[in-house]
Amino acid sequence: MRVKTLMRTRFSTVSDDTPLNEARLALAREQTDTIPVVRAGALIGLLRACDIDALGPSTVPSLATHDWAWSSSSLTVRAAAIADALTLGPEASVHDAIRLLVSQDLDAVPVVESASIVGMVTTRDLLGVLLDRLDSAHRTGLDRVLVVVDFDEGTAAAVAAGVALARQHRARLTLLHVLQARWRSLLWPGRPREMLDWARREERVGRSRDLVALVPRESGLEVGTLIATGGPGAAIVAEASRLAADLLVVGSRPHRPFLGRDLTNELVERAPCPVLVVRPGSALGTEESVGRAGA
Amino acid sequence: MRVHDCHLTPPLVLAPATSLSAAGRLIALQGVSHAVVVDHGRLVGIISTRAIGAAQPSAATTLTMGEVRGRLTQIVVADVMTRDPLVVSPTTPLQDAVRLMRDARVNVLVVCDQDRVRGLLTANDLLRVLLATAPIAANP
């Protein structure tokens, strides 16, 4: 994308001998913070609202009372304008425009062609471009997919579905495993606390490693891993809300009809986003089927 | 994309009773354009370099340099700050934040997570997001 396609071509200018008061009005009328300063059609500088503010009397009443001698009528744009402003050519890339705006901390850059100013690129207009891009990305669907991993038989299908969906929608993928608080001393009465802590830590590290290993590195996806503790339903719902997940993917658990279905139902009822339940070996998990669906 | 997915500017936090001269020095030292004003853990306002610049007396002041310096140590951030700045949460969709910033004609939003200030989302942060989006990068 080139600067010429997004610059605004209708803009006001001020001359360097314009009284500062008039320039201030022009800035207010244009609802902008930066206005180009021209002499005989050629750009000679930029006038920023903040420079006018800094030049003028104090905004604090106790100081402003001593500014009584200040009179804006005698000042012209020349007193506040920045000379030798940086400019862009119409063929410059939007990339260059953004770099210039960010590095110089400006909110508008003039576009100049053969010594005369032809347009202005403003931060505001660029935010509009970003907004269009975000809106169109949003319409295509998902932004963050959260896959619940219990390392049971449904895991492979759920992860494969998550990977396929994340890739298709260019979404971020997060794998979540919930450690159940089974180290509580009922099973191991009398064990020292340090030992339980150590075992818990080891399990956490091990599970983290297992999660990372689930997604092949060459998938090119941005994959995050998360280990939560506590009751699975509550922990998953809490993480899904914290991450603002757009889709929760869980594997179904046919072998544990009672427990498995219970958790799935709980998630469907309480999750802050839609829940996709994937049967082991179901078709969504394969890349080709998603590819066909997307085509 | 959500607000917490983009790089946020770490906030410079000032108390409302910070003097204007100290605030100016701190902001310049950090090289930032805004600082948040927090009173007892609660966000009360935001102060910009522009507001600090506008508070300085003009060249035509009848005060001496010493008097100006003295008064600037008595004026506090709370006198000059913008009260009730625009706030977004880390999980706000980014397009809502961009729309808010564009429509309200501001350059900065405060990112708060349950009353705690997490960072500032500046227009420059958003321009960097635009820089990172693929289509622009692909066709320079």
With pLDDT > 70 as the criterion, what percentage of chain B qualifies? 95
Is residue B139 included in any domain, yes or no?
no
Q: What is the CATH number of the domain that holds B123?
A: 3.10.580.10
Chain B residue numbers touching A66 (CB-CB < 8 A)? 57, 61-63
Which tokens in the block code for residue A20?
A: 């500062």
Q: With a cut of 50, say whether residue A286 has pLDDT above it.
A: no
Mean pLDDT value of segment B59-82: 84
Ranges assigned E (strand) in chain A: 14-15, 34-39, 42-48, 82-83, 108-113, 116-122, 144-148, 172-179, 223-229, 247-251, 275-278
Inter-chain residue contact A134 with B126, CB threshold 8 Å:
no
Tell me whether residues A130 and B127 touch, CB distance under 8 A.
Answer: yes
Q: Given this model, what pLDDT does residue B6 score?
A: 85
Query: Per the domain annotation, does B123 fall within a domain?
Result: yes
Confidence of residue A30 (pLDDT cuts 50, 70, 90): confident
pLDDT at residue B89 tops 50: yes
The answer to whether residue B13 sits within a structural domain is: yes
Which of A81 and A257 is assigned the larger pLDDT? A81
Most B-contacting residue of A52, A124, A131 (CB-CB within 10 A), to test interface: A131
Overall domain count for chain B:
1
In a domain, residue B140? The reply is no
**Residues B120-139: tens digit of each pLDDT:** 999 999 988 888 875 544 44
Query: What is the rounded average pLDDT for all residues in chain B?
Result: 86
Q: Which of A203, A235, A210 is nearest to A159 (CA)?
A: A210
Please tell me which of the candidates A70, A107, A130 has its beta carbon nearest to residue B98.
A130
Name the closest residue on chain A to residue B106, using Cα atoms: A124
Which residues in chain B touch residue A174, judged by CB atoms under 8 angstroms apart? none
**The amino acid at A115:** A
Contact A134 B98 (CB under 8 A): yes
Cβ <8 Å between B61 and A50: no
How many Å apart are CA A211 and CA B54, to the nearest integer? 54
Of B79, B101, B137, nearest to A127 by CB-CB distance is B101
What would the two tokens of residue B28 be? 């310049």
* pLDDT-wise least confident of A183-192, B4-13, B60-69: A183-192
In a domain, B26, yes or no: yes
Instruction: Determine the Cα–Cα distance for residues A138 and A66; give it in Å rounded to an integer.
Output: 54
CA distance B40 to B61: 36
Which of A27, A32, A52, A60 has the most B C-beta neighbours within 10 Å, making it the best mutation to test the interface with B? A60
Q: Is residue B74 within 8 Å of residue B19, measured between CB atoms?
A: yes
**Looking at the predicted structure, is the pLDDT value of residue B12 above 70?**
yes
Show the CA angle centred on residue A54, arms to residues A52 and A58, nearest 5°: 115
**How many other C-beta atoms can be found within 10 angstroms of the C-beta atom of residue A258?**
7
Q: What is the mean pLDDT of residues A265-277?
A: 88
pLDDT one-digit tens code per residue, A132-168: 888 776 665 678 899 998 888 888 888 888 888 888 8
Residue of higher predicted confidence among A281 and B14: B14
Distance CA A33, CA A13 (A): 12
* pLDDT tens-place string over residues B93-130: 888 999 999 888 888 999 998 888 999 999 999 988 88
Per-residue confidence (pLDDT) for residue A294, from 0 to 100: 39
Using the structure block, give the residue that is written with the tokens 């396609």.
A5
pLDDT confidence tier of residue A260, bands split at 50, 70 and 90? low
DSSP state of A227: E
Please state, rounded to an integer, the average pLDDT across all residues of chain A.
81
Best residue in B27, B61, B122 to probe A by mutation, most A CBs within 10 Å? B61
What Rg do the C-alpha atoms of chain B give, in angstroms? 17
- The tens digit of pLDDT for each residue in A89-117 reads 988 888 889 989 888 888 889 998 887 88
More confident residue, A84 or A72: A84
Q: Among residues 45-84 of chain B, which lie with CB inside 8 Å of chain A?
A: 49-51, 53-63, 68, 71, 75, 79-80
Note whether A58 and B56 are within 8 A (CB). yes
Are B60 and A138 a contacting pair at CB < 8 A? no
pLDDT for res A287:
46
Chain B CB contacts of A131 under 8 Å are 95, 98-99, 102
Please report the pLDDT score of residue A232 as a whole number.
84
Q: What is the pLDDT of residue A283?
A: 59
Instruction: Please give the residue range of the domain that contains residue B85.
Output: 3-133
Q: Is the dihedral of CA A61, A66, A69, A75 positive or negative?
A: negative
Count Cα neighbours of A280 within 13 Å in the Cβ-side half-sphere: 11
Residue A213 C-alpha, separation from nearest chain B C-alpha, in angstroms: 24
User: Which pLDDT score, from 0 to 100, does residue B135 have?
Assistant: 53
CB contact under 8 A, B131 and A99: yes
Q: Treating both helix axes as pointing N-terminal to C-terminal, what angle do A123-139 and B94-104 enclose, rounded to 10 degrees? A: 150
CA distance A122 to chain B (A): 11
B138 within a domain of the structure (yes/no): no
| Number of cross-chain residue pairs from A and B with Cβ atoms under 8 Å apart | 134
- CA A138 to chain CA centroid, Å, is 12
Q: Which of A66, A69, A127 sits opposite B98 (nearest CB)?
A: A127
Residues of chain A neighbouring B128 (CB-CB closer than 8 A)? 98, 102
CA distance B49 to A103: 17
